[in-house]
Amino acid sequence: MQYGEELKKVQACELEILADVIRVCNENNIEYFVFGGTALGAVRHGGFIPWDDDIDIGMTRDNYERFLAIAPSKLKDDLFLQHYTTEPNAPTYFAKVRKNNTRFVEYYFRKIKMHHGVFIDIFPHDQVPDDPKLRRRLFRRTFILNQLYIAKSVVETSTPQKGLRGFLGKSLRFILHCLLKPIPKKWLYQLLDKEVQKYNKRPQASSLCYVPGTRVVIEPEVLFPLKQAKFESLVVNVPNLCEKYLTCYYGDFWRLPPVEKRVGHRPYILEL
């Protein structure tokens, strides 16, 4: 079976997960929004970007913590909330909701013993300082801490690499992984978590972003109040000024990328 056929099944499975996450959020007054490629898909395609195979949800820190607390008991029985607190082997700082009895094994994480079901990602969005120097410093520190946190669980690089560059990349990651073995993962998580949340509730930090990763900062007036948009058969929350947000993220987001770049995150192993 070609991945084009499998992709439709993956998207249908992710849509089921998203529907239940939205149900839990609506029933418990938890505010969420789609962002990144999912927001782009909602605006430009009315659903998935045709070649995309993931869904990204954002939540402010307070909403995210509430979701982590209640989701394990509120999600359908065939779904699993994967986070450091529910599965210590999970290598990412953010959370995922996975579907039981499926496998979507990412190459990067293929050697980790954990739940590898089809998933959607849920990212906490925290406040970042308005001062550019403080913001850059925060991004540098959290980037380094996040790489250390991932390297604690992951031995190899994120994608297969060849040649001298690939060899050096694998070697450095392996050395870093070995050096981190004596360090408790819980300590690394707490260190990263503390730094990520450093500017929450501070008046000089009004904008939001997923601090360890995307670094695409969303101003409060761009994000709130949330609006709704069609996403396949569902209605989802999107940023208030979604087109402005997408322009900051992608530039001319209406322009389709070249055909050769229309690819998703094809899994290393897929079982549906």
111-158 pLDDT, tens digit per residue, is 999 999 999 999 999 999 999 999 999 999 999 999 999 999 887 755
pLDDT classification of 32: cutoffs 50, 70, 90: very high
State the average pLDDT for the chain. 92
- What is the dihedral sign for C-alpha 216, 219, 222, 226? positive
Specify the pLDDT at position 173. 75
Asked if 107 and 159 touch (Cβ cutoff 8 Å), the reply is: yes
Query: What's the CATH fold of domain 3-127+207-271?
Result: Beta Polymerase; domain 2 (3.30.460)
For the cut 70, the answer to whether the pLDDT of residue 253 exceeds it is yes
Say which residue, 259 or 3, is predicted with more confidence.
259
**Is 184 strand, coil or helix?**
coil
pLDDT(96) > 80: yes
Q: Considering the entire predicted model, what is its pTM?
A: 0.91
As a whole number of angstroms, the distance between CA 130 and CA 203 comes to 9
Q: Where are the domains of the chain?
A: 3-127+207-271
Average pLDDT over every residue of 162-181: 76
Q: Is 110 helix (H, G, I), strand (E, B) or coil?
A: coil
Question: Minimum mean pLDDT among 28-32, 44-48, 106-110: which range?
Answer: 106-110
